[in-house]
Amino acid sequence: MSRFLVATLVVLGFVPNMSSAVEIKKIRVCYGPLGPTREVAKCLPRDVLCITYEIEGLALDPKTKKATYETTLELLDANENVLFRKPLPAEAIPHLGGTNMPGDLFVTMGDKQAPGKYQIRLTINDKVGKDRKAFKYDFEVVPETFGFVRVVTMAVGFPGQYHVPEFALANFTLDAKMKHPNAEVTIRIFDDKGTAVSEPVKMLLPRDMPEGTDLEKLNFVPLTYPVYLNRAGRFTIEVQATDKNGNKKAELRYPLTVLDIKDFTK
């Protein structure tokens, strides 16, 4: 897949020429709610798209001190037909003060999601303040090809923890006789100067596929590899995958920051 961002994020006001108390800010496409920013925004079938955001200016009930609001997630096709719509009520007390609330949304592509342009639309309806705002995100589903899907990982960690990225590879070319893949996955870790800090880790498929995997039924292999965080620093995780039967390659790269707890305590 090509490495460029195809996102268009727009915050929409529903009442022209009038200011709104509610704002949606810090909109971010990412590899899970606590994951790094996603650089490649085109999606394969079976992929999951995650977006985090922050709601500012929610009104609080004078008696309960709660924010009560509703989020409505919609998926639209290129002709703006609504393919999916899900309202979800929410309420929370801002125990740390302020009127801000974090939020996230997930959209899962179907196994045979049709290629084309789509749009996510999320509406926030403030029940107490009688106000609402929305943002939309334009994205594209590309035809099936070998690549990474459903990447979920963390952007930060602490020494002594395990960093456990989860991802899957989809659309292997299977050999004609055994219907097996012939693929290699290599994980490398670099420091902030671009120097490798450990030996590469290799996984071979079909050898390292989860037990019971049947790629004729579902051409999809979930994988993971725990990384022990033995020291603080800034690093880059690189995962390269090669489909040798189909002569195709895919790459995943993301930053990982390991924090020293002493920097945040007295």
CATH code (residue 237): 2.60.40.3880
Strand order in the sheet with 201-205: 156-157, 248-258, 233-243, 183-191, 201-205
Residue 1 lies in a domain: no
**In angstroms, rounded to a whole number, what is the distance separating the alpha carbons of residues 242 and 142?**
19
Last residue of a domain, one of 116, 141, 166: 141
Give me the number of domains the chain comprises: 2
Q: What pLDDT was estimated at residue 178? A: 85
CB contact at 8 A, 235 and 192: yes
**In angstroms, rounded to a whole number, what is the distance separating the alpha carbons of residues 249 and 251?**
7
Closest CA to 24 of 127, 130, 125, 140: 125
Q: What pLDDT was estimated at residue 9? A: 56
Per-residue pLDDT in tens (0 to 9) along the chain, 266 residues: 333 334 445 555 544 433 458 999 999 999 999 999 998 779 999 999 999 999 999 999 999 999 999 999 999 999 999 999 999 999 999 999 998 999 999 999 999 999 999 999 999 999 999 999 999 999 999 999 999 999 999 999 999 999 999 999 999 999 988 889 999 999 999 999 999 999 999 999 999 999 889 999 999 999 999 999 999 999 999 999 999 999 999 999 999 999 999 998 87
Q: Could you tell me the CA-to-CA distances from 67 to 25, 61, 236 in Å, in that order?
A: 17, 6, 39
Q: What pLDDT was estimated at residue 16? A: 40
Judge if 105 and 152 occupy the same domain. Answer: no
DSSP 8-state secondary structure symbol assigned to residue 263 = G
Residue 93 lies in a domain: yes
State if pTM tops 0.95: no
Q: What pLDDT was estimated at residue 231? A: 97
Residue 170 lies in a domain: yes
Q: Residue 179: give the domain boundaries.
A: 147-264
Residue 75 lies in a domain: yes
Tell me, rounded to whole angstroms, the distance of Cα 69 from its chain centroid: 24
Q: What pLDDT was estimated at residue 8? A: 47
**In angstroms, rounded to a whole number, what is the distance separating the alpha carbons of residues 242 and 204?**
10
Residue 171 lies in a domain: yes
Q: What pLDDT was estimated at residue 213? A: 92
Q: Are strands 147-152 and 183-191 parallel, antiparallel or unpaired?
A: unpaired
Q: What angle do CA 126, 101, 137 make, to 5 degrees?
A: 80
**In angstroms, rounded to a whole number, what is the distance separating the alpha carbons of residues 37 and 43?**
15
Judge if 29 and 71 occupy the same domain. Answer: yes
DSSP conformation letters of 188-203: EEEETTS-B-S--EEE
Q: What pLDDT was estimated at residue 21? A: 87
Judge if 172 and 256 occupy the same domain. Answer: yes
